[in-house]
Amino acid sequence: MSECTLLSGNEAIALGAHLAGVHFATGYPGTPSTEILEALAQGDYEAVRVQWSINEKVALEVGIGASLAGRRTLVTMKHVGVNVAADPLMTLTYMGVKGGLVLVTADDPGMHSSQNEQDNRNYARFAKIPVLEPSDSQEACDMMNTAFELSERFDTPVLLRTTTRISHSKTPVTPGQRTESPVEPGFTKDPSKSVMIPAYARGRRLVVEERSGQLAKLAEESVDAPPHLSRVEMRSPDVGIITGGIAYQYVREALPDASIFKLGMTYPLPMEAIRSFAQMVDRLYVVEELDPFWETEISAAGIEVTPTGLSSVGELGAPAILQTIGAGDSIVGAEPAGGIPVRPPVLCPGCPHRGVFFTLRRGGYAVTGDIGCYSLGVLPPLEAMHTCICMGASVGAAQGIEKALGEDAPNTVAVIGDSTFLHSGMTGIADAFFNGSNMTTLILDNYTTAMTGHQGNPTAGYDVYRSEAPRLEFEPLVRGLGVDDVVRVNPYDMQALESALKSAQETRGPSVIIVEGACALLPWAEHSPPYRVTDECIGCGMCLRLGCPALRRKGTGKRDQVLIAADLCTGCGLCAQVCPQSAIVTEGDDQ
Amino acid sequence: MPRIDDVLVVGVGGQGIILATDVIAEVFLRAGFDAKKSEVHGMAQRGGSVESHVRRGESVHSPLISPGRVQVLLALEGLEALRYAHTLNPQGTIIFDPQRIPPLSVATGAQEYPDDLTDQLSRYAAQVTEVKGYEIASKLGNARAQNSVLMGALASLTELPRDLWLEVLDSRVPAKAVEVNRRAFERGLESMSENR
Ligand SMILES: Cc1ncc(C[n+]2csc(CCOP(=O)(O)OP(=O)(O)O)c2C)c(N)n1
Ligand code: SF4
Ligand code: SF4
């Protein structure tokens, strides 16, 4: 196979991992990283075993075990996932690896699908490990092999950082040859290297320092020399630009004549090579997306850098570079048309989350929310979510509101999805039990990790290969965490949910309501015949407050009757439950 | 007419936009060009607004088309055509499907769907063409082939051979949908010559 094909950055990383002789890969889904493991599982890559872990911390820990067993190991996650995995990472860096270990962090400048836009190059400096950043899919593929070699050669985990525009752009890739790790598989007992008690960790701390020096030396030696971590492209001497990752492409597009120092390993930096480059150009700029990470390092080394004026917020692009460094020679589009109705994402027709938020809003609850499809419960018309911080935070935040205000606390409910609960909600429940909280938690169990593309998890019953997997039951799990008051509710029965909520609020001790119903997009989700609206409809718009895409007014009048698009309706029946005129009916209903 | 290198495909999540740009990019690549495409996955797929960039050239750098440089705006939905019309080069072409998918804000009556789409669009483009992709595909028996109708329309603006388009299209759609997508593509091609 050596044909040139278009691959996304994520597909290229999967291919590159296979070519680099990876034996084990795990991670936790998160946009824009998710497709790496999916491509690795779905591709023709038999030697690799792939699995989804329950969260990023567990993923990295399983990965560390696999590396200690002498296997080349890939661990993938989105940028915020590294926060969850930071605890093992910060000590793994002392231990080093046996089989190469590459951690892919997929950052999301512009926050297309994330709660923040943290720049994970900072983790490289923090953990004192090298970071590689591809500028297109070919580099993403090729860098995997380099990353594993470096990992084994320098006895360090290696960070490979992509961004949304690398992960989700498709560019041509010609694959290279497959290699195997020279490391003999097998677990070696080596406590002074793998047991980080203070006595051993102090020794390893010095090793890390020594390694940092070696990596800095490697950075210098590999500018335009194997393993080609960075390169200099001399063009006009007027302007010299230090750049890397996707920013490199934007610079090439905006300033075709500029000389470029292209970083491939973007930490540690080849500072002496950069110093010589600086001497060859009249003005030196650093163009990077998000934090002034390289610029700070380069300026601190006493190299004069001309400020670009580019923002450190959001995505970069060729136009911004043209407008700043390109001295105003800009391409600008026309003014956008005004007054265009917005089109944010919405819960699907028949989504099991819809009725929950309708009920919570009607009950006037304060809702601490979490991350998943159900985060859309914050948007109109449902507007029933009042916090969303990080995965699992709903449970802790609800307890905090209760503890801070005591008797004066509003009726508060934590809402959390199944995957998120297993990721990091369980500990919050045990904490509520231990600390005598009366809080109520709603677990929205739709049997899948829907938001990131329906990945398997322990309640889904399938794995990354879409093969059957063991299922974990929530009820005994939650009881085991100390909750006596546990009920299971059908998401399409809003009355039952309402009574369950009332009774939970009155019960002493923590309560959990498990709302069980399959995500409407799962192939095995059971749908019923569509509903329709009769002439009894008075156009009050009550049903429209559900925000179901299958419902709309017939015309543009404020009291026009409503209709249901039969091709979209899944027959969930929620709208029939809220219609005060009983004007929404289905087959078999008497009129 | 200059060679069509920079195409922006827009519409609503679920309309097959990503498949369409996969096909277009691969046609570009197989025709011997450097090609890139880019879009954002994730939240936007839940019925939100979607934009996908496709580019070709001797060598392509940024996977994103700069605003003002889009040569063809291929829109699977009218409102989405208007949302991205300002990214068009004023010499460019808009091909849009007049199918209306009202967003929630319109369905609930909070905002209004614009009535004068063609007029508003013509302020941004040298040429605005309506292609009833959804209607044509539905009549052919599979509304999901809407994107193939629009691709046919786009193909008529390029110098690239029809057989190349069909070959790539065939390889990208499910086996049982090959025939209907081929027909949808042909109807899209024809609709453009009728429009001239
Ligand atoms: C630490 C971290 N890892 C991953 C993600 C990406 N992510 C957002 S929501 C989600 C899963 C949601 O699944 P679930 O809780 O089951 O809710 P659903 O989408 O199915 O409604 C994931 C993986 C994240 N935001 N933060
Ligand atoms: S994908 Fe599933 S969980 Fe997400 S909005 Fe759609 S039906 Fe709801
Ligand atoms: S029954 Fe009503 S709420 Fe449920 S999918 Fe159909 S239109 Fe939407």
**DSSP string covering A350-371:** T-TTHHHHHHHHHTT-EEE--S
Within 10 A of A119 (CB to CB), how many other CB atoms are there? 18
pLDDT at A178: 95
Please work out whether the CB of residue A30 comes within 6 Å of at least one atom of ligand 1. Answer: yes
pLDDT at A331: 62
Do residues A581 and A573 lie in contact, with contact meaning Cβ atoms separated by under 8 Å?
Answer: no
pLDDT at A2: 65
Residues 6+ apart with CB under 8 A from B5: B55, B56, B57, B71
Say if the Cβ atoms of A341 and B44 lie within 8 Å: no
- Tell which one of A494, A526, A531 to mutate to probe ligand 3, the residue whose CB is within 8 A of the most ligand atoms: A531
Residue A292 phi, psi (nearest 5) = -75, 65
Taking only the tens place, the pLDDT of each residue in A14-53 is: 999 999 999 999 999 999 999 999 999 999 998 999 999 9
Please work out whether the CB of residue A573 comes within 6 Å of at least one atom of ligand 3. Answer: yes
**Closest residue of B to A541, CA-based?**
B108
pLDDT at A328 over 80: no
Determine the average pLDDT of the residues in A353-381.
Answer: 97
Say if the Cβ atoms of B38 and A165 lie within 8 Å: yes
Closest by CA position to A143, among listed A160, A121, A119, A168: A160
Taking only the tens place, the pLDDT of each residue in B66-112 is: 999 999 999 999 999 999 999 999 999 999 999 999 999 898 888 89
Q: Return d(Cα A298, Cα A269) in angstroms, integer.
A: 8
Determine the average pLDDT of the residues in A249-267.
Answer: 98
Do residues A591 and A534 lie in contact, with contact meaning Cβ atoms separated by under 8 Å?
Answer: yes
Q: Return d(Cα A60, Cα A73) in angstroms, integer.
A: 10
DSSP state for residue A335 in the 8-state scheme: P
Q: Which residues of A touch B106 (CB under 8 A)?
A: 341, 552
**Closest residue of A to B11, CA-based?**
A343
Q: Return d(Cα A375, Cα A225) in angstroms, integer.
A: 48
Taking only the tens place, the pLDDT of each residue in B99-148 is: 999 999 898 888 899 999 999 999 999 999 999 999 999 999 999 999 99
Say if the Cβ atoms of A333 and B67 lie within 8 Å: yes
Q: Which atom of ligand 2 is nearest to the CA of A446?
A: 3
Question: Does the ipTM surpass 0.90?
Answer: yes
DSSP state for residue A421 in the 8-state scheme: I
Do residues A418 and A459 lie in contact, with contact meaning Cβ atoms separated by under 8 Å?
Answer: yes
Do residues A109 and A315 lie in contact, with contact meaning Cβ atoms separated by under 8 Å?
Answer: yes
Q: Which of B63, B108, B114 sits opposite A165 (nearest CB)?
A: B63
CA angle B37/B43/B49 to nearest 5° reads 65
pLDDT at B108: 84
Determine the average pLDDT of the residues in A202-221.
Answer: 98
Q: Which atom of ligand 3 is nearest to the CA of A584?
A: 2
Polymer length in residues for chain B? 196
Mean of per-residue pLDDT scores for chain A: 96
**Three-state secondary structure call for residue B172:** helix
Look at A123-127, A141-145, A406-410, B46-50 and tell me which has the smallest mean pLDDT. Answer: B46-50
A–B interface: beta-carbon pairs under 8 A: 173
Q: Which of B25, B88, B110 sits opposite A6 (nearest CB)?
A: B25
> Domains of chain B (ranges plus CATH)?
6-195 (3.40.920.10)
Distance to chain B for A552, nearest Cα, Å: 4
Q: Which residues of B touch A319 (CB under 8 A)?
A: 66-67
Say if the Cβ atoms of B38 and A170 lie within 8 Å: yes
**Three-state secondary structure call for residue A97:** coil
Please work out whether the CB of residue A549 comes within 6 Å of at least one atom of ligand 3. Answer: no
Question: What beta strand segments (E) does A88-180 contain?
Answer: 101-107, 131-132, 158-163, 169-173
- Residue ranges of the alpha helices (H) in B44-100? 78-84
Q: Return d(Cα A332, Cα B83) in angstroms, integer.
A: 16
Please work out whether the CB of residue A520 comes within 6 Å of at least one atom of ligand 3. Answer: no
Closest by CA position to B38, among listed A280, A517, A489, A315: A315
Q: Return d(Cα A483, Cα A291) in angstroms, integer.
A: 44
pLDDT at A590: 59
Closest by CA position to A442, among listed A376, A525, A363, A368: A368
**Three-state secondary structure call for residue A570:** coil
Say if the Cβ atoms of B83 and A336 lie within 8 Å: yes
Residue position matching structure tokens 């390694």: A211
Query: What dihedral angle (degrees, nearest 10) is formed by the CA atoms of A381, A383, A389, A394?
Result: -120
pLDDT category of residue A154 using cuts at 50, 70 and 90: very high
- Alpha carbons within 13 angstroms on the beta-carbon side of residue A162 total 34
How far away, in angstroms, is A524 Cα from ligand 3 center?
A: 18
Q: Which residues of A touch B29 (CB under 8 A)?
A: 4-6, 172
Residues with CB under 6 A from ligand 2: A 347-348, 351, 353, 373, 446, 450, 519-521; B 46
B:37-66 residues touching chain A, CB 8 A cutoff: 37-49, 60-64, 66
Residue B35 near chain A (CB below 8 Å): yes
Q: Checking DSSP bridges between strand A440-445 and strand B127-130, what pairing results, if any?
A: unpaired
Residue A210 phi, psi (nearest 5) = -60, -45
Determine the average pLDDT of the residues in B55-75.
Answer: 97
pLDDT category of residue B193 using cuts at 50, 70 and 90: confident
**Closest residue of B to A163, CA-based?**
B40
pLDDT at A231: 98
CA angle B108/B112/B116 to nearest 5° reads 150
pLDDT category of residue A517 using cuts at 50, 70 and 90: very high
Residue B88 near chain A (CB below 8 Å): yes
Distances (CA, A) of A514 to A360, A397, A414, A428, A491: 15, 19, 12, 16, 9
Q: Which residues of A touch B102 (CB under 8 A)?
A: 341, 552
> Domains of chain A (ranges plus CATH)?
5-221 (3.40.50.970), 231-325 (3.40.50.920), 354-516 (3.40.50.970), 531-586 (3.30.70.20)
pLDDT at A587 over 90: no
Q: Which of A318, A341, A452 sits opposite B103 (nearest CB)?
A: A341
Give nearest CA residue, ligand 1 atom 9. Answer: A372
Q: Which atom of ligand 2 is nearest to the CA of A354?
A: 8
Percent of residues, chain A, with pLDDT higher than 90: 96
Taking only the tens place, the pLDDT of each residue in B17-47 is: 999 999 999 999 999 999 999 998 766 668 8
Element (H, E) at A416: strand A412-417
Determine the average pLDDT of the residues in A344-371.
Answer: 97
Closest by CA position to A435, among listed A407, A477, A404: A404
Q: Which of B29, B43, B83 sits opposite A340 (nearest CB)?
A: B83
B:145-164 residues touching chain A, CB 8 A cutoff: none
Q: Which atom of ligand 1 is nearest to the CA of A80?
A: 1
Q: Which residues of B touch A342 (CB under 8 A)?
A: 103, 105, 111
Please work out whether the CB of residue A259 comes within 6 Å of at least one atom of ligand 1. Answer: no
pLDDT category of residue A1 using cuts at 50, 70 and 90: very low
How far away, in angstroms, is A138 Cα from ligand 3 center?
A: 46
Strand partners, A76: A27, A104
The secondary structure of A451-473 as a DSSP string is TTT-B--TTTSB-TTS-B-----
Distance to chain A for B4, nearest Cα, Å: 18
- Tell which one of A419, A462, A522 to mutate to probe ligand 1, the residue whose CB is within 8 A of the most ligand atoms: A419
Q: Return d(Cα A52, Cα A488) in angstroms, integer.
A: 27
Q: Letter for the amino acid at A371?
A: I
**Three-state secondary structure call for residue A450:** coil
Say if the Cβ atoms of B47 and A553 lie within 8 Å: no
Distance to chain A for B171, nearest Cα, Å: 13
pTM score: 0.97
Instruction: Classify the C-alpha dihedral A192-A194-A199-A203 as positive or negative.
Output: positive
pLDDT category of residue B54 using cuts at 50, 70 and 90: very high
Do residues A78 and A32 lie in contact, with contact meaning Cβ atoms separated by under 8 Å?
Answer: yes
Please work out whether the CB of residue A450 comes within 6 Å of at least one atom of ligand 1. Answer: yes
pLDDT at B195: 64
